[in-house]
Homo-oligomer: A and B are copies of this chain.
Amino acid sequence: MKILVTGFDPFGGESINPAFEVIKKLREKIGDAEVIKLQIPTVFHKSIKTITDKIDEVKPDVVLMIGQAGGRFDITVERVGINVDDARIADNEGNQPVDEPIDPEGLPAHFATIPVKAIVQEIRESGIPASVSNTAGTFVCNHVLYGILNYIYKNKLDIRAGFIHIPFLPEQVVTKPNTPSMALDTMVNAIEKAVEVIARTEDDIKRAEGTIC
């Protein structure tokens, strides 16, 4: 099976993006999965287009998108993408949409189709903290999560897709007091575990991982 793994280029004043640093270090072959790596621009719509072009080209079975979630403590697997852009900062080409739908004719949201809870469980079992997240924000991360799920849905493609957020790297928080971080190797291990689970599991496990609010 083929899995397309994407990561953003740096944004928001950071000189690196842990998402692409992780992707560069992923093994090309994980279990039965052939890993195809893709850097995508931190730009509204262009990011989606970069991925859908690659989908059309390589016909992957799975699209796994990776992004930086500065301030989060652990690996978070996103449950849902919502149909709205609300950018607190401009993207890398100066776009700052506020309360605009990603697809004016799309559904209000799409749920991820990778086995979210099985991934969380597997990462935890390897000694790395992980959890389910119920919001991917309203910037480019949510944008591509919704955008790709929407593209797959509208085109009735047989592709599973989802998004995993990773924390800052230690070097990114040297000047940010009381901000959590995670080592690159730890994050690479976590994403490789995720790819393994996705490759061998179609159905998710049922296990309470909800949030009160």
Q: Which A residues are within 8 Å of any B CB, using their own CB?
A: 12, 67-70, 72-74, 79-80, 82-89, 96, 98-99, 107-111, 117, 124, 127-132, 134-139, 141-142, 165, 170-171, 173-174, 176-183, 185-186, 204, 206-213
Contact = CB atoms under 8 A, between A and B. Distances in A.
Contact of A98 (B87, B179, B181, B207): B207
B180 A183 contact: no
A165 B213 contact: yes
B131 A134 contact: no
Instruction: Give the number of times this chain occurs in the complex, counting copies.
Output: 4
B138 A170 contact: no
B211 A139 contact: yes
Nearest to A190: B170
A210 B134 contact: no
A208 B139 contact: no
A176 B181 CA distance: 15
A127 B170 contact: yes
Contacts of A85: 210
